[in-house]
Amino acid sequence: MSSARPVHAYLSSDQFAADRAHIVAVLDAARESGVYNAPEIDESVRQCARRARDGNLPPEALVVALKTLVQDVALPDMGHWYRDVIRNRLVVAAIEAYYAAGPQPD
């Protein structure tokens, strides 16, 4: 019996790869500028969360994907405390967008 979990279609999609790349790009820009409260950061995560919801990705899988992104890909030279703060902020933005009522603009 295999213990590997199947990968959800959205997580293996070109769209998710593009969403991840965009999130990393805005975080890199924030690192360069020193401005970590830029609205582009939250909007990139909200857009990803809406697409995940529309693709029927369970919210907990989205949270794991975002945490993994911040831990393993984004902001590699940032200290753990700061990375945790950014990660928590991204997770909150994603959850809020995922559960937002009504159709959302793409």
Kindly report, residue by residue over 1-55, the tens digit of the pLDDT: 445 555 688 899 999 999 999 999 999 999 899 888 889 999 999 999 999 999 9
Instruction: Show Cβ contacts of residue 77 under 8 Å, excluding neighbours closer than 6 positions.
Output: 31
Q: What is the mean pLDDT of residues 80-103?
A: 88
Tokens 């907990």 sit at which residue? Answer: 60
pTM (predicted TM-score)? 0.83
Q: What is the mean pLDDT of residues 83-92?
A: 93
Going from N- to C-terminal start, the domains of the chain cover 14-98
For residue 61 the two structure tokens come to 């899988």
